[in-house]
């Protein structure tokens, strides 16, 4: 076995394919300055007249696109094409197979006006996005630029618009980055102005210049046309914006001018570590550049291995505030081969990695355990992961330690339950296992039971629990969760709560920072993390009063009124409770209910309205918090934006549902596309030291 592995490793070493590139990524001047507009070109697909000159298609073939290549070719040579010439490029080793595929396609083609098809080897290291064929484009009028995905995911009409484009001097295609806000175009039949297009698109041959990225192509176009326009995006009924929506949106946020990351996201100070990023390709790396660069600027040693990157080109964007080196195998490999090669590469590094960051789609990587902290993130969460760039080495090393259990408490509000579960499913969990416990009261109705039965949860296990004797709200909540270890945290959710898709970001960030970060930031007094922002204080003896943390802090001249803060009020509308404190609460409650030391009706906390609450677990939690000076962490985003909200629905505590009451408690949720807010609105763009957090008492007064 071992011998076999040695041999296969040797074989791999024989192929001296490790290509090393240097790239410079900038956080400044990412977008070239716009020339003044000249109004020289008309917008919209320009004219609807079909284009009448010669049209050349460029089709790159790679190992992974070879199987679908014949479909691409069939589309290009089909009956309704205006393509007059097809230039196929592929790496040397694929020449024979590609030639075969072409021959087969020509044989079955029914069109007598067949375009010419020629095949061109592409060297492993070409830095032009047009490949090596740009010199062959002189005799053509317009070029149809494809990437290895061909026409995949495009509607018939969009394909047609590419195969027989309308006349005009602007590049046009269904995918790209819009100039309005530098984010990915949402497919639309209305033409949208682009900073640059992504393949497939058609472009006048006169605008084709060697360029090393699609962004650079857009720059050439807008410079040549002098109208700030890198192309037009027009799509006819495509449902999928795969290229863009998922892969580019954060890249483009990143490319818009921002100050250097070191200034933006004050890194937690502390020790420095060695981080290895194992990623498939440059596109994927681009999604997490903000994170990688932030860590690089912090001073961590950052190494990037792109194991399936075939493009041997590099991108240079402006100045050099973030200078990264990546290595690549220069070709795609089977997973097993890749793992061997990655392992070899890791062994060759002079420093041992503290943290290895990879995608969770390599199942065998999970078993690869050499003592480093392995972090595996789903591809679809990468573009929401920039917040990880502020984690300190200690926090990174504890990434896999805390476990957050979700405990849902429900009875007979099926619509509410459905809404809560749907919001949970929309959450982003960054590859973490999150188990759910669904607690049903004895009196739960059939609809509620059906919803529970049908709920699918893909991030962990679902445990259901139903009472046989009605418990009432105190046991329903208090018994809904109990920690197994000191690294288990309980997110308690009554069913009238709804979550932000980013709630887990806030929870994980806060728990890593205040529980596993620097010693000075951990306090025994912190008993939980609220997802919800207080908009009212309920505990004044006179009744509810409006509460606004930002104005309170501004009044008291606190340096940054937008800081998260500590409050003694336990939140019951979406909050995580810490294990030691929850166990203590169980003991406290058992004692208190037994009336061994004092009568149940006696007050513990002077002058708070909760003394008059009956059947409330929170009343007793308030007592414990008061006796022990415990505090809960609260978010403090603009407009009360929160990671959970409460819909104030009729239930055990709420008898009717006046609009005024709903308005008093409902807060906006931080949505997925607002992920930047999570850090951007924090003072210094990261969680403050524990000592710097303002503290508010049960009735909303600031401790000074
Ligand atoms: C540019 O074109 C727009 C729309 O066609 C027109 O409203 C505007 O007056 C033009 N501007 C100049 C400077 O010609
Ligand atoms: C960017 O602008 C486009 C069109 O102007 C719009 O549809 C899209 O929602 C915007 N995206 C963001 C993230 O603001
Ligand atoms: C609390 O309840 C007591 C007895 O039921 C009552 O006398 C008192 O007025 C109530 N206090 C408030 C603030 O509602
Ligand atoms: C909160 O602080 C204020 C001002 O110091 C005080 O009057 C109030 O009694 C405190 N509330 C509680 C519940 O201790």
**Strand stretches in 312-461, DSSP E:** 322-328, 355-359, 373-377, 403-410, 436-440
Measured between alpha carbons, how far is 578 from 487 in angstroms, rounded to an integer? 8
Comparing C-alpha atoms, which of 682, 671, 558 is closest to residue 267? 682
Instruction: Specify the ligand 3 atom closest to the Cα of 541.
Output: 13
| 603 close to ligand 3 (CB < 6 Angstrom) | no
Distance CA 276, CA 373 (A): 10
**Closest ligand 4 atom, residue 699 Cα:** 11
Lowest mean pLDDT across 134-148, 160-174, 410-424:
134-148
C-alpha of 57 from chain center: 35
pLDDT-based confidence at 238, cuts 50/70/90?
confident
pLDDT for 492 beyond 90: yes
> Cβ distance 436 to 492 under 8 Å?
no
By CB neighbour count within 10 A (0-12 exposed, 13-18 middle, 19+ buried), where does 445 fall?
middle
Nearest atom in ligand 2 to the alpha carbon of residue 188 is: 7
Torsions phi, psi for 468 (to 5 deg): -105, -20
Q: Among the atoms of ligand 2, which is closest to the Cα of residue 185? A: 3
For residues 209 and 128, is the Cβ–Cβ distance under 8 A? no
Mean pLDDT of the chain: 82
Residues above pLDDT 70, as percent of the chain: 82
Higher pLDDT, 63 or 69: 69
Q: Is the pLDDT of residue 13 over 60?
A: no
Most confident range (mean pLDDT) of 17-31, 37-51, 120-134, 540-554 is 540-554
Atom of ligand 4 nearest to the CA of 700: 1
Q: How many CA atoms lie within 13 A of 364 on its CB side?
A: 9
Q: What are the Cα distances from residue 531, in Å, to 227, 421, 515, 517?
A: 46, 16, 17, 20
Share of the chain above pLDDT 90, in %: 45
Ligand 3 in contact with 543 (CB < 6 A)?
no
User: Using 50, 70 and 90 to split pLDDT, how confident is the model at 10?
Assistant: very low
Sign of the CA dihedral with 167 first, then 168, 173, and 174 last: negative
Question: Which residue CA neighbors atom 5 of ligand 3 most closely?
Answer: 612
Contact call for residues 642 and 507 (beta carbons, < 8 A): no
Which of 43, 176, 178 has most ligand 2 atoms within 8 Å of its beta carbon, as the pocket-test mutant?
178
Q: Residue 500 — very low, low, confident or very high, per pLDDT cuts 50/70/90?
A: very high
pLDDT value, residue 346 = 78
| Cα(288)–Cα(479) distance, integer angstroms | 41
Show the 3-state SS of 598-627. Answer: CCCCCCCCCCCHHHHCCCCHHHHHHHHHHH
| Mean pLDDT confidence for 106-126 | 75
What's the confidence (pLDDT) of residue 36? Answer: 35
3-state secondary structure of 116: strand
Most confident stretch, 127-131, 547-551, 655-659:
547-551
pLDDT band at 496 (very low <50, low <70, confident <90, very high): very high
Q: Of residues 289 and 537, which shows the higher confidence score?
A: 537
pLDDT of residue 378: 96
Q: Mean pLDDT over residues 552-577, rounded?
A: 95
The stretch 667-685 carries a mean pLDDT of 92
Confidence of residue 122 (pLDDT cuts 50, 70, 90): confident
Q: Is the pLDDT of residue 254 over 50?
A: no
Question: Which residues have CB under 6 Å of ligand 4?
Answer: 605, 608, 697-699, 701
> How far is CA 395 from each of CA 129, 199, 274, 365, 565, rounded to the nearest angstrom?
39, 40, 14, 22, 20
CA gap 608, 539 in Å, rounded: 5
Q: What is the mean pLDDT of residues 420-439?
A: 97
What is the pLDDT, as a whole number, of residue 329?
73
Residue minimizing CA distance to atom 6 of ligand 4: 701
Dist CA 148 CA 165 (whole Å): 20
Rg of the chain over all Cα atoms, to the nearest angstrom: 30
Nearest ligand to the C-alpha of residue 611? 3
**What is the CA(539)–ligand 3 centre distance, in A?**
13
Q: Whose CA is nearest to atom 10 of ligand 3?
A: 612
**SS3 of 546, please?**
strand
Residue ID of nearest Cα to ligand 2 atom 5? 180
Determine the pLDDT at residue 258. Answer: 34
pTM: 0.64
pLDDT tens sequence across 333-355: 677 777 887 778 777 777 788 89
* pLDDT tier, 32 (very low <50, low <70, confident <90, very high otherwise): very low
Burial 619-658 (b: 16+ CB within 10 A, else e): bbbbbbbbeeebbbbbbbbeebbbbbbbbbbebeeeeeee
Most confident of 54-68, 202-216, 243-257: 54-68
| The pLDDT of residue 35 | 36
Please tell me the predicted confidence (pLDDT) of residue 316: 32
Return the beta strands (E) in 636-698 as ranges.
644-646, 695-696
**pLDDT value, residue 540:** 92
Give residue 214 CA to ligand 2 midpoint distance, Å: 20
The number of CA neighbours under 13 Å toward the Cβ of 587 is 6
Query: Which one has a higher pLDDT value, 596 or 212?
Result: 596
Q: Whose CA is nearest to atom 13 of ligand 3?
A: 541
Decide: 612 in ligand 3 pocket, CB within 6 A: yes
Q: How far, in Å, from the CA of 699 to the mean position of ligand 4?
A: 6
- Name which residue sits closest to atom 1 of ligand 3, judged by CA: 612
In this predicted structure, the answer to whether residue 178 has a pLDDT above a threshold of 50 is: yes
Lowest mean pLDDT, pick from 158-172, 348-362, 489-503, 621-635: 348-362
Q: Could you tell me which residue, 289 or 259, shows the higher pLDDT?
A: 289
DSSP string, 221-256: HHHHHTSS--EEE--SS----IIIIITTHHHHHHHS
What pLDDT is stored for residue 353 in this prediction?
Answer: 86
**Nearest residue (CA) to ligand 2, atom 7:** 186
Structural domains in the chain? Answer: 2-29+44-246 (3.90.550), 265-397 (3.40.50), 403-696 (3.90.550.10)
Q: Measuring CA to CA, how many Å separate 360 from each of 354, 357, 432? A: 18, 9, 10
Rounded mean pLDDT, 675-696: 93
Number of C-beta neighbours around residue 664 at 10 A: 15
Q: Taking 70 as the threshold, does the pLDDT of residue 246 lie above it?
A: no
The confidence score (pLDDT) of residue 369 equals 66
What confidence tier does 653 reach under pLDDT thresholds 50, 70, 90?
low
pLDDT of 5 above 90 = no
pLDDT band at 182 (very low <50, low <70, confident <90, very high): low
What is the DSSP track for 256-309?
A: S----HHHHS-PPPS---EEEEEES-HHHHHHTHHHHHHHHHHT-EEEEEETT-
Q: Please tell me the distance between residue 37's alpha carbon and the centre of ligand 1 in angstroms.
A: 10
CB 541 less than 6 A from any atom of ligand 3: yes
Q: 47-51, 86-90, 168-172, 501-505: which has the minimum mean pLDDT?
A: 47-51
CB 266 within 8 A of CB 301: no
Residues having CB within 6 Å of any atom of ligand 2: 178, 180-181, 183, 186, 673
Q: How much distance in Å is there from the Cα of 525 to the middle of ligand 4?
A: 18
Q: Does position 690 have pLDDT exceeding 90, yes or no?
A: yes
Distance 382 CA to ligand 3 centre (A): 53
């Amino acid at each position: 076995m071992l011998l076999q592995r040695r041999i296969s490793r040797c074989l791999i070493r024989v192929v001296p394919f490790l290509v090393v590139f240097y790239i410079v990524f900038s956080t400044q001047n990412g977008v070239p300055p716009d020339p003044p507009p000249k109004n020289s070109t008309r917008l919209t697909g320009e004219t609807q007249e079909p284009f009448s000159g010669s049209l050349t298609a460029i089709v790159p073939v790679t190992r992974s696109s070879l199987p679908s290549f014949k479909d691409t070719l069939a589309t290009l040579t089909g009956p309704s094409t205006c393509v007059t010439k097809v230039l196929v490029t592929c790496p040397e080793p694929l020449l024979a197979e590609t030639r075969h595929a072409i021959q087969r396609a020509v044989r079955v083609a029914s069109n007598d006006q067949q375009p010419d098809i020629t095949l061109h080897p592409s060297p492993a290291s070409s830095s032009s996005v047009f490949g090596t064929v740009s010199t062959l484009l002189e005799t053509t009028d317009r070029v149809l630029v494809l990437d290895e995905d061909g026409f995949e995911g495009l509607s018939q009409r969009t394909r047609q618009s590419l195969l027989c484009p309308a006349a005009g001097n602007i590049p046009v295609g269904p995918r790209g980055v819009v100039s309005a806000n530098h984010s990915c175009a949402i497919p639309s039949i209305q033409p949208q102005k682009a900073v640059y297009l992504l393949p497939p698109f058609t472009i006048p041959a006169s605008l084709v210049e060697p360029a090393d990225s699609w962004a650079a192509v857009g720059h050439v176009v807008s410079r040549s046309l002098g109208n700030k326009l890198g192309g037009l995006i027009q799509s006819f009924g495509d449902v999928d914006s795969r290229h863009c929506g998922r892969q580019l949106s954060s890249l483009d946020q990143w490319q818009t001018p921002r100050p250097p990351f070191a200034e933006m996201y004050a890194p937690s100070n502390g020790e420095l570590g060695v981080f290895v990023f194992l990623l498939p390709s440059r596109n994927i790396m681009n999604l997490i550049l903000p994170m990688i660069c932030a860590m690089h600027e912090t001073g961590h040693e950052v190494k990037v291995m792109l194991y399936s990157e075939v493009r041997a080109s590099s991108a240079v964007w402006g100045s050099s505030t973030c200078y990264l080196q990546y290595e690549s195998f220069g070709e795609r490999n089977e997973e097993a081969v890749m793992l061997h090669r990655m392992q070899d590469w890791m062994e060759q590094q002079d420093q041992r990695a503290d943290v290895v960051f990879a995608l969770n789609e390599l199942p065998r990587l999970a078993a690869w355990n050499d003592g480093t902290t392995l972090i595996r993130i789903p591809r679809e969460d990468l573009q929401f992961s920039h917040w990880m760039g502020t984690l300190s080495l200690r926090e990174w090393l504890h990434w896999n330690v805390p476990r957050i259990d979700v405990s849902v408490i429900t009875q007979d509000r099926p619509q509410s339950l459905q809404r809560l579960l749907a919001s949970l499913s929309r959450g982003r969990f960054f590859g973490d296992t999150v188990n759910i416990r669904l607690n049903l009261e004895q009196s739960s109705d059939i609809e509620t039971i059906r919803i529970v039965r049908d709920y699918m949860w893909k991030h962990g296990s679902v445990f259901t629990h139903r009472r046989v004797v009605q418990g009432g709200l105190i046991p329903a909540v208090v018994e809904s969760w109990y920690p197994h270890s000191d690294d288990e945290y309980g997110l308690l959710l009554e069913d009238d709560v709804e979550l932000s898709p980013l709630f887990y970001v806030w929870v994980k960030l806060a728990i890593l920072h205040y529980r596993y970060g620097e010693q000075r930031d951990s306090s025994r007094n912190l008993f939980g993390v609220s997802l919800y922002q207080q908009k009212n204080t309920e505990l004044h003896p006179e009744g509810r009063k409006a509460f606004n943390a930002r104005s309170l802090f501004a009044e008291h001249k606190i340096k940054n009124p937008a800081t998260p803060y500590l409050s003694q009020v336990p939140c019951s509308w979406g909050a995580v409770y810490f294990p030691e404190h929850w166990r203590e609460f169980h003991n406290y409650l058992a004692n208190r209910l037994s009336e061994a030391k004092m009568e149940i009706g006696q007050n513990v906390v002077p002058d708070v309205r909760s003394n008059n609450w009956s059947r409330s677990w929170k009343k007793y939690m308030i007592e414990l918090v008061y006796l022990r000076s415990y505090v809960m962490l609260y978010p403090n985003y603009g407009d009360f934006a929160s990671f959970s909200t409460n819909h104030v629905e009729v239930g055990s505590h709420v008898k009717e549902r006046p609009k005024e009451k709903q308005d008093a408690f409902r807060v906006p949720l931080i949505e997925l596309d607002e992920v930047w807010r999570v850090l951007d609105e924090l003072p210094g763009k990261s969680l403050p030291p524990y000592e710097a957090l303002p503290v508010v008492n049960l009735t909303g007064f600031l401790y000074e």
